[in-house]
Chain A
Amino acid sequence: MEEVRLMKGNEVLAEAAIRCGCDGYFGYPITPQSEVLETLMELKPWETTGMVVLQAESEIAAINMLYGGAATGKRVMTSSSSPGISLMSEGLSYLAGAELPCVVVNVQRGGPGLGTIQPSQSDYFQATKAPGHGGFRMIVLAPFSVQEMHDFVGLAFDLAFKYRTPVMILSDGVIGQMMEKVVLGPQQPRWTDEYIAETCMDWALTGKKGRGRNIVTSVDLDPNSHERFNLKLQAKYRNIEENEVRYETVRTDDAEYLLVAYGSAARIGEKVVEMAREEGYRLGLLRPVTLYPFPTGPIEVLSRQVKGILALEMSAGQLIEDVKLASQCRVPAYHYGRTGGVVPSPGEVYEAFKAHFPK
């Protein structure tokens, strides 16, 4: 029988981590996601599944704890919010450079700087284009419900190990703080040391018993061999782009206009579609579920069908750049957004839509 509960998005992240057999969580408190660490400390998974939970001294330490844990083949995770993610940039680059799997959650708040504790989507560029130095990518999943906060933890671990890459769950203060019904998954066992030693034999630091030694590193001073490594990484990213694009559509079959929005903005977008349809606009919604890899193909196809596109996001305009590239500017594409922690109402978005696309 399935287990249904009413839970906060942040609490669900903790619950899902335990249930999917996560080995270790390392984090530092920051609003609006501190409930993740608090919930884990209350649930005490070290007494049940053996999962390690540690409050680190900083986000810098937390991401490097992930590097250490991931290097031993363990399934490790952290969560933070925008300013804390900036502190993790260096570590993310090292994780990508050493091809280590891990899950990082960003429950975004408004910036720049210390900014605000209210929800925002202003870290889109950072997450999808340059999470750190050196030209690497991470898979970015964008949940739009508490249920997806649950489901994406397990998915993120699967993808992280499939491609040996950091995976980010890019959420925001709305999804993190709101309560919804959620169906919880069954308790999965943690991987045994024997299983890790066997399945991650060619890279994980499990002790060199029965094999040659493994070295986890991102340094290579020979430019030619380091370029070969970069090309290998790029081949991995092309593979990810080919196989891992995820998105959802709402009423796009007959759409004359297209709204593109992810995460909590897509929740607002769903309402805007309803409002527009009531007044005779054939508006549809495309919701990128993976922000990297971006659903370029599906938007390209829809851009041949519609008369115009509106990208809705809680930022000054970041997603819109990928929408324009995907649609190849075939039709007019506009941005609507609010910043600094302001969540737009469906009414104001609809008004903006009508202003761009009058009947």
Chain B
Amino acid sequence: MSEEFKVEIKPENLVYQKPALTTDATMHYCPGCSHGTVHSLIAEVIEEMGIQDSTIGVSPVGCSVFAYNYIDIDWAEAAHGRACALATAMKRLNPGKMVFTYQGDGDLAAIGTGETIHACNRGENIAIIFINNAIYGMTGGQMAPTTLVGMKTATTPEGRRVDLHGYPFKIAEMLTHLDGVSYITRQSVNNPVNVRRAKKAIRKGFEKAMAGKGTSFIEIVATCNSGWKLSPVEANRWMEEHMHPVYPLGDLKDI
């Protein structure tokens, strides 16, 4: 190695590190899954806002059921789909706390559609993190409400057919019609630029919820390389080519 590329390991040269609020527990997520990245972003946002002692997270049923193992804050694990009902009461009974839910597509947009819509319509001052990877990861790769047309899953072995299963559920678009929601955005963590954008969006959502502006809804279009049966790199590429056109990134509502 030549002199000019000499590596200087000094604290002031450190660009990235494990967020202080991320625990040392070994993650159960598959290598390549987006959950770990999003967890880190949430941990960083909570830390940067200095609200680790007053934040309550609600984890769902699905792959992220054990989200509570990884971020060092108070957590409740909800019944399948009911995270927004829990969060509603938590926030109303503890208005000074930051309350957020972390939910997958099956949890939020299938079994929990009712709770999601009504929490948003009431304008609960909570943040909802919605991980959309178009598949049921934990139960072994079945069709999600957000599964793309033609996409093969364990319950759509020949691909999702509109005549049998209907259309991919664009719940973020639907929620824009509800007056209680002040911020709806769709992000992805497929490259460093988007990771930084997603973090900004999460921070904005948390700040709006704390400011009492109503519900914040942050969708993250995510990979499930195991469920999609692709390598992590291929999954990222597949997401960009197939998911992003159906679920375009950017703010849908910001008032």
Residues of chain A having any CB pair with chain B under 8 Å = 23-24, 26, 52, 54, 56-58, 60-62, 64-69, 71-72, 74, 76, 90-91, 94, 98, 193, 205-210, 213-219
Q: How far is the CA of A54 from the CA of B66 in the complex (A)?
A: 29
Residues of chain B having any CB pair with chain A under 8 Å = 52-56, 58, 65-66, 68, 72-79, 82, 85-90, 92-94, 97, 114-115, 118
Q: Indicate if the CB atoms of A58 and B114 lie closer than 8 Å.
A: yes
Q: Indicate if the CB atoms of B75 and A64 lie closer than 8 Å.
A: no
Which 8 A-B pairs give the minimum distances between C-beta atoms?
A68-B86, A64-B85, A209-B53, A217-B77, A69-B89, A64-B82, A68-B89, A65-B89
5 intermolecular pairs with C-beta atoms under 8 Å apart: A68-B58, A71-B56, A72-B56, A208-B53, A217-B75
Q: How far is the CA of A215 from the CA of B97 in the complex (A)?
A: 16
Output the nearest chain B residue to A51 by Cβ-Cβ distance. B93
Contact A69/B53 with A64-B86, A64-B115, A216-B75 known, Cβ cut-off 8 Å: no
Contact A208/B72 with A74-B93, A90-B79 known, Cβ cut-off 8 Å: yes
Q: Indicate if the CB atoms of B86 and A207 lie closer than 8 Å.
A: no
Q: Indicate if the CB atoms of B77 and A218 lie closer than 8 Å.
A: yes
Nearest CB in chain A: distance from B42 CB, A:
14
Contact A61/B93 with A209-B53, A215-B68 known, Cβ cut-off 8 Å: no
- B residues near A66, Cβ cutoff 8 Å: 89
Q: Indicate if the CB atoms of B76 and A205 lie closer than 8 Å.
A: yes
Q: Indicate if the CB atoms of B52 and A208 lie closer than 8 Å.
A: yes
- A residues near B68, Cβ cutoff 8 Å: 215, 217
Q: How far is the CA of A54 from the CA of B93 in the complex (A)?
A: 11
Chain A CB within 10 Å — which of B72, B73, B82, B89 has the most? B89
Q: Indicate if the CB atoms of B76 and A217 lie closer than 8 Å.
A: yes
Nearest CB in chain A: distance from B234 CB, A:
30
Q: Indicate if the CB atoms of B73 and A208 lie closer than 8 Å.
A: yes
Q: Indicate if the CB atoms of B72 and A67 lie closer than 8 Å.
A: no
Q: Indicate if the CB atoms of A207 and B74 lie closer than 8 Å.
A: yes
- A residues near B79, Cβ cutoff 8 Å: 64, 67, 90-91, 94
Q: Indicate if the CB atoms of A72 and B72 lie closer than 8 Å.
A: no
- A residues near B115, Cβ cutoff 8 Å: 57, 60-61, 64
Q: Indicate if the CB atoms of B72 and A68 lie closer than 8 Å.
A: no
- A residues near B86, Cβ cutoff 8 Å: 64-65, 67-68, 71
Nearest CB in chain A: distance from B4 CB, A:
46
Q: Indicate if the CB atoms of B74 and A208 lie closer than 8 Å.
A: yes
Q: Indicate if the CB atoms of A68 and B118 lie closer than 8 Å.
A: no
